[in-house]
Amino acid sequence: MNTVILRTVAPPITALMLVFSVFVLLRGHNEPGGGFIGGLIAASALAIYGIAHGVAAVRLAIRFHPMAIAGFGLLLATLSGFVSIFAGVPFMTGLWIYPSLFGVEVPLATVISFDIGVYFVVVGAIAGIALTLEGREED
C-alpha cells in the first residue's frame, strides 16, 4: 500500500481528520459528536498516516507513546471527576464556569475536560493497537 498517491495524499488527509476530530470532540455536548467519535477519527487518521509513511514516522510525529497519551487521557478524566471534591459535591458531578475571554463568554466544564480525557484514551489506545499491528508488517 506504499503507493505514491497514498503517500502524497496521506499528510493532508491526516491533518484534516485530526482537525475534524477535535471539532467533533468539542461540539459533542450540543451536536452529534463527542470524545469517543473524535478519538476514533483521530486514531483512524494516525492509522492512515502509518500505512502511507510507516509506523516510525507516526511515532515521531506524535512525539509521545500512544499508551502515554491514553494514560494522560485517563488521568485527565479521573481528575475531572475529583474536581467536584472542592465544591463539596459527589464524585463526577459536573461543574461549570463561564469566564469571559475578549468579551466572549466561554463555557468551561469538568464534563468537557472529562470528554477530552475520553478522547485521548481512545486515540491513544486505538492508535496504539493499530500502529503495533502495522509495525509488525515490517519485521
Partner 1 sequence: MADQTALTLLCLFLPVLAALLAPMAIGRFGAAGSWLLALAPAFSFVHFLTLLPQIADGAAITGGYAWVPSLNLSFSWFLDGLSLTFALLITGIGTLIVLYSGGYMKGHPQQGRFLCFILLFMGAMLGLVVSDSFLMLFVYWELTSITSFLLIGFDHEREAARRAALQALVVTGLGGLSLLAGLIFLWNMTGVTQLSLLVNVDDMLRESPFYLTALLLLLGGAFTKSAQFPFHFWLPNAMEAPTPVSAYLHSATMVKAGVYLLMRLNPVMGETPAWEILLPFFGGVTLIAGTVLAIRQTDLKLMLAYTTMASLGLLVMLTGFGAPHAVEAAALYLVAHSLFKGALFMVAGLIDHECGSRDVAQLGGLRKAMPITFGAALAAALSMGGLPLFFGFLAKEEIYYALAHGDLRSILFLVVAVGGNALMFAVAFAVALKPFLGPKVETPKHAHEGPFLMWFGPALLAALGLFAGIFSAVAHRFVSTPMASAVAGQPTVVDISTVPHIGMPLLLSIVTIVLGLLVYLQIDRARALAVRLLEAIGSGPDRGFDHAVAGLVRLSVAVTRIVQPGRLEIYLTVSFILLALTLLVPPIVYGELPDMPSWPSDVLFHEWAFVILALLGLFAVLRASDRLTAIVSLGIQGFAVAVIFLLFGAADLSFTQFMVETLSVVILALVMTRLRLSPTDHRPLGQLLFDAAIAIACGIGFTLFLLKATQGPFNDYLTQFFNTYSKVVAHGANVVNVIIVDFRGTDTLGEISVVLITGLAVLALIRVKAKPRADAVPAAVEEGAKS
Partner 2 sequence: METVFSVLIGFFFAAAVYLMLSKHSVRILLGIAIFGNGVNLLLFTAGRLTREVPPIIPAGMDTLPATAANPLPQALILTAIVISFSFFAFLLVLTYRGYQELGTDNTDEMRFAEPKDEPLPPLGY
Residues within the interface to partner 1 (CB under 8 A): 24, 28-37, 40-41, 43-44, 47, 51, 66-67, 70-71, 73-74, 77-78, 81, 91-92, 94, 96, 107, 109, 111, 114-115, 117-118, 121-122, 124-126, 128-130, 132-134, 136-137
Q: Min. distance of Cβ 81 from partner 1 in angstroms?
A: 6
Concatenated DSSP letters of 126-137:
HHHHHHHHHHHT
User: With respect to partner 2, which residue has the nearer C-beta, 68 or 129?
Assistant: 129
The H or E element spanning position 108 is strand 108-109
Question: Which residues make beta-bridge pairs with 24?
Answer: none
Q: How far is the CB of 39 from partner 1 (least distance, A)?
A: 9
Helix-helix angle 110-136:4-27, to 10 degrees:
160
Distance CA 58, CA 66 (A): 10
Find the binder of partner 2 among 75, 106, 108, 133 (CB under 8 A).
133
Judged by beta carbon, residue 8 or residue 132, the one nearer partner 2 is 132
**Interface with partner 2 in residues 40-59 (CB under 8 A):** 40
Please tell me the distance from the alpha carbon of residue 139 to that of residue 130, in angstroms, as a whole number.
Answer: 16
The two most distant CA atoms of the chain are separated, in Å, by 58
